[in-house]
Structure 1
Amino acid sequence: MRSKPVRLVMYHILAAGGALLMLYPVLWLVMSSFKPSTMIFSTAESLIPSPWIWENYVQGWKGIGGYTFSTFISNSLIIVVLSTIGVVLSSALIAFGFARLQFWGKSFWFIIMLVTLMLPHDVVLVPQYILFAKLGWLNSFLPIIIPNFFGAPFFIFLMVQFIRTLPHELDEAATIDGCGKFRLFYRIILPLIAPALATSAIFSFYWRWEDLIGPVLYLNKPEMYPVSMALKMFLDNDTLSNWGAMFAMSVVTLIPVIAVFFAFQKYIVEGISTSGLK
């Protein structure tokens, strides 16, 4: 009993040390956003800026190429919101089919879906590019948004596991009351899998917000760039890179991510833990 307080103190010390180790890069990023670009990578400089340079945020928000950073944030929001809505709804519908409906080759197609989950994304980049080029979708948001309306293997698997935990008696009661398959889906199943939907939406938000490969491949106009490409524009191999402005806008782009995490943290834990109970 006497050793319990000692173990508790040691646990908190180790946990605090681990948290500090994980948060140090973010802290360094925030502090560097208030330093001149010439002093950011100087080993003689301390972590705390002296003096504090707020001009980095002003310069960063002015943007590049005549477009303010608000334009890039708006583009990212368009891509993220539409992609998230599409991937969550389509994945939920597909997961409902695998978990509740009986059809020929159900196990086979479920395995095929899992195989696509294990397939490296880089393998399909060239075929997708050729397909979208023939469709005339290049230099638009369509190649980045439309594929999300056909589901995502990770989210489908997550929701299938969640739906399988729901009692089948709910389906039988709804069918007796006259519900068809689609009405059963959106009136009974969809409200009950809200934690899985929220978890999928949050992960989709993160992945789409930080995506760089898609915009690099399909977007050529600066006015259509999302924040991931806008940050890259602050770096120039021929002239002096504006590291201060880039770090300042990196901090700005972290605000939505952090806000979404803290607002929906309980849904992430609940959605993943409940899906794994089966």
Structure 2
Amino acid sequence: MDPVEIVSGDSPVVLGLPHTGTYVPTDIRNKLNDRGKALADTDWNIHKLYDGLLPGVTTVRATFHRYVIDANRDPSGQSLYPGQNTTGLVPLTNFEGEPIWTQPPSGGEVEHRRETWHAPYHAALEAELARVKARHGVAILYDCHSIRSRIEYLFDGTLPDFNIGTNNGATCAPVIAETVEQVCRAAQGYSTIMNGRFKGGWTTRHYGQPETGIHAIQMELAQSTYMEEAAPWPYLHDRAEALRPHLSDILHRLERLALEGALT
């Protein structure tokens, strides 16, 4: 199994998809308990939700599951949210705080997984961002995520529908954050927050360097906006079709900002 699937386009926008993969090698799957084998913390159906929204967009998608190794975590293992419940580079629990392994990985095994899965994904993402920047002078990484709207272990209450993350404004030009937030807040029937519980994962923070011409923003969607939040995690066509125009509007506006030179 190739750790990454790449579709190279001619747009200045790149979609990162680190958490939609469900592949788990047999030797790793055998060390998961039944809870882990359920793969409940997948960003289910996100690749389907974004498919076809922006012609020419580049996509970089991890094929492996986040329980193998999390492509959106710092490879050093440093926590993204010190002092808050979260999951690590190789999660030891699910999003409910429950153990997922019968045999947790050793340090050597984590390093092997980093080299085999995490590193190739980021090598591909870095290469695509560099290619896009060389073509347009700038690149916008839009990192696509979703999560169940209620997870007591990770956050209180119900998550807003649109959770925009820019690491408190550090990862992109202000006009990018303003544009995305404007579209989200204008979407009737949806709730929005900027840099709330999810401020952008390692991918957004690592690549988002506006001073170099690479901008990054994360969108964490509440899964209730487009799917059923329980196994077998069905995609709900009517909900998704109501949401997709807003996501399309975001991507088209970001592309236009880049093409019109509004980021330099």
TM interval, shorter chain, is: under 0.3
Q: Give the TM-score, by structure 1 length.
A: 0.23
Q: Give the TM-score, by structure 2 length.
A: 0.24
Higher RCO structure, 1 or 2 (CA under 8 Å, sep 6+):
1
Structure of higher CA gyration radius: 1
